[in-house]
A and B are shown apart, each in its own frame.
Chain A
Amino acid sequence: MLPPRFDYLAPRSLDEALEFLDGHGDDAKVLAGGQSLIPVLKLRFASPAWLVDINRIPGLDEIAEQDGHLRVGALVRHRDAERSPVLRERYPTMAEAAPQVSDPLVRNLGTVCGSLAHADPSGDWGAVMLAMDADLVARSKSGTRTIAARDFFDGPFTTALRPDELLVEARVPARPGTGGAYLKLERKVGDFATAAVAVRVTMSDGRIGEAGIGLTAVGPNNLKATEAEAALAGADPSDEAFREAAELAARAASPSTDMRGSAEYKRNIVRVFTERGLRRSVAMAIADGGA
């Protein structure tokens, strides 16, 4: 099954890529890992005139802490995230999510930023970035724009990115005393989530200082459970607080009934996973010195 015809450009520098997107952004798609884009082309859901392959641009594959945040470059693959000691030690929500993305072969090519830019409502990284309150950095010929994850997703496969922009980096705040979890229900390895919940808890003086909750596959895009987050801010880490937040997260979900389950079932998964995720995240945050 061949993709439709397109012209192909493999720029050797970011400037070259941005220059091209400036003139051809409307007719071009950016190829990073290609694990969503190539199937989309093969299934004729898109037929761009140009493919801009960024894989030969040096310096985009970094995953490193700098100035109080973690930078995840445009070519960081799911596999890199899965194997990153920094994520394992300090960004547990991300470390738990990485090995649950698709299957090992797809993870060898697919990228974190590509998944965000593709913005599949069933994508895992969107929910994670919403829970982490990450910033997404978009570059174009005319400059750099930082978009909060909560302002990034705009419906199924739709983001705040302009056609001339490239998502060059996800920027995740470094927060000591943080615990996190990513709970995902899938029918089999490689299937899209039936539903999943990303949780992040930062403790402060024995209380929950800040919590982030992102939802996967239960709405038109990855959702941020803001009411649940607000209820948790400053709360005692009690079973009651967890239960209340879980109810609010379930209410924030707007799942559809499909072959993977009924709306009611998926909403209940969100409730159960949020409660479990909070319990685990708080214990982890306390162990991390956040109490």
Chain B
Amino acid sequence: MQVTVNVNGTSQTADVEPRLLLVHLLRERLGLTGTHIGCDTTSCGACTVLVDGVPIKSCTYLAVQADGRSVRTVEGLVEGGKPSPLQAAFKQEHGLQCGFCTPGMLLAAEALLADNPDPTEEQVRWALSGNLCRCTGYMNIVKAVQAAGAAMRSAAGVAEAETAEAPAMAGGAQ
């Protein structure tokens, strides 16, 4: 079957068997190996990606189900060649040890912050409760997500203030 999926902003067409899982399409056909396969039994969340903005386990989703939809993987988080605020916060707060769970954690956290830019510790833990860290490094993962939220809020605040100031300055110049 032919499927067309928008992956990280680029339309990708592939001929696939119906039984092909989305994670295999991403890793083996499109070469996007940032999405990891952990348990392969819907338990660990290492393979988490966003489908139309919603985090799901790509080992439990068929590639054909993604036909016509948008998929975002860890490769799609990078902004202009730089780590996203969330990725930067994971580095800053030591939110990763071996790194195996990190892509899944990042995507699940990305969806959380899009929904709730200022989550409490409990809300972060709740949102990430389907993602397992085999190093048990949860403390710093939670800290990183909250730090990223703060950084993104402050960046949005600066941008808003600049937009608000611009007309006033134009007015003052007259």
Q: Is B10 in contact with chain A by the CB < 8 A criterion?
A: no
In the bound complex, how far is the Cα of B87 from the Cα of A200, in angstroms? Answer: 45
In the bound complex, how far is the Cα of B65 from the Cα of A10, in angstroms? Answer: 9
Q: Is A2 in contact with chain B by the CB < 8 A criterion?
A: yes
In the bound complex, how far is the Cα of B126 from the Cα of A4, in angstroms? Answer: 34
B72 CB to closest chain A CB, in angstroms? 14
* B108–A105 touching, CB < 8 Å: yes
Contact for A35 among B48, B55, B60, B127, CB less than 8 A: B60
Q: Is A189 in contact with chain B by the CB < 8 A criterion?
A: yes
Q: Is B43 in contact with chain A by the CB < 8 A criterion?
A: yes
* A106–B41 touching, CB < 8 Å: no
* A103–B21 touching, CB < 8 Å: no
* A105–B48 touching, CB < 8 Å: yes
Contact A2 to B24, CB < 8 A, known contacts A7-B18, A103-B129: yes
In the bound complex, how far is the Cα of B3 from the Cα of A11, in angstroms? Answer: 16
Instruction: List, in ascending order, chain B residues with CB within 8 A of A5's CB.
Output: 17-19
A61 CB to closest chain B CB, in angstroms? 13
Q: Is A39 in contact with chain B by the CB < 8 A criterion?
A: yes
Encoded as 1 (CB less than 8 Å from any A CB) or 0, chain B from 120 to 154 comes to 00000011011100000000000000000000000
Instruction: List, in ascending order, chain B residues with CB within 8 A of A109's CB.
Output: 56, 60-61
Instruction: List, in ascending order, chain A residues with CB within 8 A of B4's CB.
Output: none
In the bound complex, how far is the Cα of B48 from the Cα of A1, in angstroms? Answer: 16
Q: Is A261 in contact with chain B by the CB < 8 A criterion?
A: no
In the bound complex, how far is the Cα of B61 from the Cα of A53, in angstroms? Answer: 12
B52 CB to closest chain A CB, in angstroms? 10
| Chain B residue at minimal CB-CB distance from A3 | B19
Instruction: List, in ascending order, chain A residues with CB within 8 A of B30's CB.
Output: none
* A190–B130 touching, CB < 8 Å: yes
Q: Is B6 in contact with chain A by the CB < 8 A criterion?
A: no
Q: Is B159 in contact with chain A by the CB < 8 A criterion?
A: no
In the bound complex, how far is the Cα of B18 from the Cα of A192, in angstroms? Answer: 29
* A53–B130 touching, CB < 8 Å: no
A5 CB to closest chain B CB, in angstroms? 6
| Chain B residue at minimal CB-CB distance from A189 | B129
Interface positions of B from 24 to 57, Cβ below 8 Å from A: 24, 40-43, 45, 48, 54-57
How many residues on B have C-beta within 8 angstroms of the other chain's C-beta atoms? Answer: 29
* B41–A42 touching, CB < 8 Å: yes
* A34–B55 touching, CB < 8 Å: no
Instruction: List, in ascending order, chain B residues with CB within 8 A of A105's CB.
Output: 45, 48, 55-57, 108, 130-131
Q: Is A104 in contact with chain B by the CB < 8 A criterion?
A: yes
In the bound complex, how far is the Cα of B126 from the Cα of A194, in angstroms? Answer: 20
Q: Is B20 in contact with chain A by the CB < 8 A criterion?
A: yes
B128 CB to closest chain A CB, in angstroms? 8
Contact for B42 among A39, A51, A104, A108, CB less than 8 A: A39
Contact A104 to B127, CB < 8 A, known contacts A7-B18, A35-B42: yes
In the bound complex, how far is the Cα of B60 from the Cα of A102, in angstroms? Answer: 14
In the bound complex, how far is the Cα of B54 from the Cα of A104, in angstroms? Answer: 10
Instruction: List, in ascending order, chain A residues with CB within 8 A of B126's CB.
Output: 104
Contact for A34 among B1, B62, B108, CB less than 8 A: B62
Instruction: List, in ascending order, chain B residues with CB within 8 A of A4's CB.
Output: 19
Instruction: List, in ascending order, chain B residues with CB within 8 A of A159's CB.
Output: none
* A6–B18 touching, CB < 8 Å: yes
In the bound complex, how far is the Cα of B43 from the Cα of A39, in angstroms? Answer: 10
In the bound complex, how far is the Cα of B19 from the Cα of A53, in angstroms? Answer: 12
27 contacts between A and B (CB under 8 A): A1-B40, A2-B21, A3-B19, A4-B19, A5-B17, A6-B18, A7-B18, A34-B62, A35-B60, A38-B21, A38-B42, A38-B60, A38-B62, A39-B41, A42-B41, A53-B64, A104-B55, A104-B108, A104-B130, A105-B56, A105-B57, A106-B60, A108-B55, A109-B56, A109-B60, A109-B61, A190-B43
Closest 6 CB pairs of A and B: A103-B130, A8-B18, A105-B130, A189-B129, A3-B19, A38-B60
Given A108-B55, A189-B130, 20 additional A-B pairs, CB 8 A: A1-B41, A1-B59, A2-B20, A2-B21, A5-B17, A34-B62, A35-B60, A38-B61, A39-B42, A41-B19, A53-B65, A103-B130, A104-B127, A104-B129, A105-B130, A106-B57, A109-B60, A109-B61, A190-B43, A190-B130
Which B residues are within 8 Å of any A CB, using their own CB?
Answer: 1, 17-21, 24, 40-43, 45, 48, 54-57, 59-62, 64-65, 108, 126-127, 129-131
